[in-house]
Amino acid sequence: MPNPSESKKVNPFNLSDKEIIDIIYEYHGEPDGSFDEDSLFIIVRNILTRSTQIVDEVMLPLSCCKALVAETAHDTTVEILKKLKEYKWQAKAVMTLASFAMEFGDFSLLVDLDHSKKQDQLTRSLGILKGASSLISATTPDLLSQKQRRDEVVKLNELIKKTLEVMKIIIAIEERASYDPSAMSEIPTSAYVYWIINTVTACATKIAILTSNEGVALEALYSLYDGKVEGIKRKVAKDLEHFLQVEEEHKRFTELLQLSSDPKRVTEFLKSLLLTRDSKDTKIIDASDDISYKTVEINAVTEKKRLLIILSRPEISEADIDIIRPIQIEKIKEEKLDKDYGIVWMPIAEEKRQEYENAQKDFGGWVKSTKKIQWYSTARFVSEAPVIHFLKEKWYFKSDPIVVVLNVALGIVENLNAFYTIRLWRLDAFPYDEETEKNKFNEMTWVHTLFKDSTDFSPKWVRSRYHYQNFISMLL
């Protein structure tokens, strides 16, 4: 008859993360948040990488048995979780690592000293106490040779290093959790903590076995732990990449906000807005030459007094381009205003499409052959998330083309969308700042008569697409 207690033994390698979480959440209380696991982890990591610092926090019963058995390691892990019930998940793992560091942090150093014969009497006594001497003794009466024991220690060191790296990544993710709470909630941190504690327990047991004078055989379970920890490491490393990217996007967006609100830093703002962050290229496309398109330094536009910045999807229509073209040809170019005025196109490619990727390979050629614009353009599609976030939140770009009038000399936005004003008054409303726009409306006294009973009639009212279309239809 099988022992009833044995039928309840759990082999964690046969469980999914969810099944493990269901088991261990029974032993997780409400953490008070007062324990500083980050600081402790720094100390633990130093100890386990041969630092001389000392941890003085908690002692836990790590070694579980005289043989490395998955079910028994699980039971020991659960007991540790019970003891650390009131701590956060990360704190549970760090405190277990701390206990391991206190017990075995000097282990490999003692082995090296014993092997090199550079120990004094105190070190030799400590080495005997820790069992390090048994690893290099040629007369140890067991089933493992001296070389086999040392090879096992090397494997353990690698597993411990890998476990520390997993813990380091988990802490790094936790520090950035606020950037994407939804993604953070999808990470099974508690299951990962379980495996860190379980692995540390297995390592402690393995050391106890290797330092004993009893006959022991090689354990086959090591490869399972190594594979499990390696798998977790790959997952959390990928998660960390995401959080680092989100963090960088947040910082970039914040930087754009700060630069846009500081008139003295308008040049920095334009560079951050028009150039790709991860590229060293500081050039934009100059299509003002009727014959050829060329690239020029960004200061070709930052030194202008006013810029009309066109925001649109790459699929901007030829009709919309034709509305803008007279400003460049008949106003800026013919009246020789190009020293003070410029037009810049920002084609916004928010989605990843194959046609965008193909066009990007020869962006200048694509602009020339498909759009036939005659002004400046960014040298690439605008696809960086923080830039698009800024354009949507602060300049209210949605999907239809808009024209933002930026007074570079003063470092201020003079009109958040002059596109409908350009459609309505063409060159007569140049340079399309809000003051000129307001004056044009005031000149239309006959229109005010039509809308004398409307309190909503204003340039902003006409700028909305719905009202603009109805307004034009009425005029015609």
> What are the boundaries of each domain within the chain?
12-252, 287-458
Q: 275 near 311, Cβ under 8 Å? A: no
Q: What is the pLDDT of residue 121?
A: 37
Q: Look up residue 312 and give its two tokens.
A: 């649109």
Count the residues in the chain.
Answer: 476
CA 95 to chain centre: 28
In order along its 476 residues, the chain shows pLDDT tens digits of: 444 444 467 777 777 877 777 777 776 666 666 555 566 566 556 555 543 233 333 345 555 555 667 888 898 899 999 988 888 898 888 888 888 877 665 544 444 434 444 444 333 333 433 444 444 444 444 545 666 766 777 788 788 889 989 999 999 999 999 999 999 999 999 999 999 999 988 888 887 777 665 545 445 677 889 999 999 999 999 999 999 999 999 999 999 999 999 999 999 999 999 998 766 778 899 987 666 678 899 999 999 999 999 999 998 999 999 999 999 999 999 999 999 999 999 999 988 888 888 888 888 778 877 767 889 999 999 999 999 999 999 999 998 999 999 999 999 999 999 998 898 889 999 999 888 888 877 776 555 555 555 555 555 555 554 444 455 444 44
Q: What is the pLDDT of residue 360?
A: 83
| Tens-place pLDDT, residues 303-344 | 999 999 999 999 899 999 999 999 999 999 999 999 999 999
Q: What is the pLDDT of residue 56?
A: 33
Judged on CB neighbours under 10 Å (0-12, 13-18, 19+), 165 is: middle
Q: Which residues contact 182 (CB under 8 A, 6 or more apart)?
A: none
- β-strand 412-415 against 341-347: which pairing, if any? unpaired
Find out if CATH 3.40.50.150 is the number for domain 287-458.
Answer: no
Q: 380 near 360, Cβ under 8 Å? A: yes
What is this structure's pTM?
A: 0.70
- Locate the DSSP E strands across 145-248: none
Containing 466, the helix (H) or strand (E) segment is helix 465-475
